[in-house]
Copies of this chain bind each other. A is one copy, B any other.
Amino acid sequence: MSSTERLQRYLADERGGCGDEEVSQRLAELEEIDAAAGGPALDQDVGLLSALANETRYKIVRILHVAGEELCVCEFAPLLDVSDSAISHALSQLTDAGLITRRKEGKWRKYRATARANAVLIALDGSRELRL
């Protein structure tokens, strides 16, 4: 049983009409939705979300977001309960994903949340109460 057959049965069931044109029209609409949904930005978005989808990394971005300024690694490392090495790996992934930026200052390294990171966190904060 092909997937278009199932769709055909669904449309017949749902709308009474079971003509071939109705099926192919809905198929065309769905193709359009698919095209709009699956742009080239999809991989980049999934990359960003994967970078945020971890407690250590999310907390780093949160801290930098709340701080509102660049922070030295040595300032936020004590707030995280993993090794320095793990923190460094996390910072590297977050930088690659475009969520934070790095600046050198002597032997210290300072990180700051990007506008993109702030936008996502603000959206999360603003939608947390929504029930639907």
Contacts and interface: CB of A to CB of B under 8 A. Distances in A.
Contact of A115 (B116, B120, B130): B130
A114 interface: yes
20 contacts: A10-B72, A14-B72, A14-B108, A33-B63, A34-B79, A36-B66, A37-B63, A37-B65, A38-B59, A42-B55, A43-B55, A45-B128, A46-B54, A49-B52, A52-B53, A114-B130, A115-B130, A119-B126, A120-B120, A120-B123
A48 B130 CA distance: 14
Given A30-B76, A34-B63, A36-B66, A116 B130 contact: yes
Interface of A: 3-4, 6-7, 10, 13-14, 26, 30, 33-34, 36-38, 41-46, 48-50, 52-55, 58-59, 62-63, 65-67, 72, 74-79, 101, 106, 108, 114-116, 119-120, 122-124, 126-128, 130, 132
